[in-house]
Amino acid sequence: MRKTSKKQIKTTTKQKIGLILFGILLAFVILELGLRIGGFVLSSYQRSMNKEGSDADYRILCLGESTTAMEGEYSWPVQLEVILNNKSKETKFKVFNEGIGGTNTAFILARLKNNLDKYKPDMVITMMGSNDVGLIKYEENLKVKIILILRDLRAYKLGRILSETWKNKIQNVNSNNVLKESEYNKYFEDGKKYLKKGDIKNAEKMFITSLEINPNNWKAYEDLGFIYVRINDTNGAEKMFMRSLEINERNDRVYAWLGWIYLKQNKLKDAEKLLKRAIEINPKNEEAYSHLCNVYRATNSSSEKIEKFLYDKKGILFKVQDVYDSSIIKYHYQQLYKELNKSGIKYIAMQYPTLDINELENMFEGDEDIIFVNNEENFKEALETGKYEDYFIDHMTDTFGHATPKGNRLIAENVANVILKNMNIEGRN
């Protein structure tokens, strides 16, 4: 009887372990499905727009990340189609938007053949590269494809976000804030919604209300500081960021933003000190490296000093100043062009707003049949007379972010004019 009992206990233990593992797997699958369903619903407008166009004379496929995918009917691909058809007398255009938030050049290249088969475009436009951090080189082999599939899991991406959030929160646990967290989150989420719509006043109001609920919440001060950065109120932003650091002195993002503010104010020594502090806390803070590199350039430091500093203790070179520093990105651009050229598809490589077109052109050998679209001059001219928040809803770099409908309009008008000119299409008066 004792032997039987031991055997039963052993079996029961195995069963428990099996059930636990199965439960974890099931929870992961349910989470992944839920996140994908949510993404499916959010991108329903984009898919519905992409279904049309069977009677089009000229088909254009747009590839990129969130700067291409966001804003629905106000995204630059949707506005591009409207502009082209309004300006063209005879040719009917159809523009397909395959922008995917959070993607990078490796995923775009991996999905290219399927997208070409699906949409059969006459032209492809890319604006890509801003998410190419920790990039893996895309190759036609099983190992790379498995890694890309795993990195594309929504649960994996959510895990990374939660991990970063937890790292920040664990540094400043305040039990008095727990009961107020849900109420604070409501106003914070409302603030983000207003901000996305470009309603700065209501966004600011929501963030201030969240601070009234919990005046010791460093994250609220940080978020309000970002609001002031976006409306070019650097004094207000500085005050909010300093208040945030009084509560949580290990927030590398705030140090980086303060360093950026001091850089703009030409307080270079203060900027250098804060940016080094940001990197000390988080050696992977790309913005801090980028801003510090600009500090060194402003102080006429030697290129050797800049290059030496950009290597951390593990010997990792972080991208600086722009999004086109990686040889892997260059490889992906060239492979994408080769695939399009082989299929006889015209290729437009478009630069991000405010960035130098030469850096994009350097991705290629120079003898390719590529149309380059420059979004530097048009945005710099617009920003000279208008406000930053008129054209961007946030900051991805020092000079640009995700575009507002007005910003996307500027992109669409620019590339539309290039397309019509290169196709020798006579526009309507």
DSSP assignment of 165-183 equals HHHHHHTT--GGGTTTHHH
The Cα 270–Cα 243 span in angstroms is: 17
Which H or E run includes 75?
Answer: none
Q: What number is the average pLDDT over the span 371-382?
A: 95
Rounded mean pLDDT, 145-159: 54
Q: Which residue has better confidence, 265 or 230?
A: 265
State the pLDDT confidence band at 136, using cuts at 50, 70 and 90.
low
pLDDT of 96 higher than 80: yes
Task: Enter the pTM of the model.
Answer: 0.56
Average of per-residue pLDDT across 219-227: 82
Q: Is the pLDDT of residue 158 over 70?
A: no
What pLDDT, on a 0 to 100 scale, did the predictor assign at position 89?
A: 83
Q: For the residues 255-261, what does the mean pLDDT come to?
A: 92
DSSP annotation of 88? B
- Beta strands 58-64; 93-97: pairing state: parallel
Structure-token pair, residue 5: 């009992």
d(CA 134, CA 317): 11
Number of CB atoms found within 10 A of residue 336's CB: 22
pLDDT range class, residue 58, cuts 50, 70, 90? very high
Single-letter amino acid, residue 223: D
176 pLDDT band, cuts 50/70/90, is very low
For the chain, helix (H) and strand (E) counts, in that order, are: 21, 5
Q: Taking a C-beta distance cutoff of 8 angstroms, is the pair 172, 217 a contact?
A: no
The whole-number average pLDDT for the span 153-164 is 52
Amino acid 1: pLDDT = 47
197-201, 251-255, 374-378 — which is least confidently predicted?
197-201
**Rounded Cα gap, residues 244 and 74, in angstroms:** 35
Average pLDDT over every residue of 268-277:
91
Least confident of 51-55, 220-224, 257-261, 413-417: 51-55
Most confident of 36-50, 185-199, 240-254, 292-306: 240-254
415, pLDDT greater than 90? yes
Q: What pLDDT is stored for residue 429 in this prediction?
A: 47
- 166-170, 260-264, 282-286: which range is least confident on average? 166-170
Residue 342 to residue 331: CA distance in whole angstroms: 16
| CA 154/CA 139 separation, integer angstroms | 22
Distance set, CA 292 to CA 111, 285, 320, 348 (Å): 36, 11, 9, 33
Q: How far is CA 79 from CA 75, 206, 358, 411, 420, in A?
A: 6, 31, 26, 9, 15
Q: What kind of architecture, by CATH, is found in domain 45-143+325-422?
A: 3-Layer(aba) Sandwich (3.40)
Q: Say which DSSP state 316 is in.
A: P
Q: Tokens for 154?
A: 């929504």
The phi-psi region of residue 315 (left if phi > 0; otherwise alpha if psi is between -120 and 50; otherwise beta) is left
Q: What is the pLDDT of residue 204?
A: 83
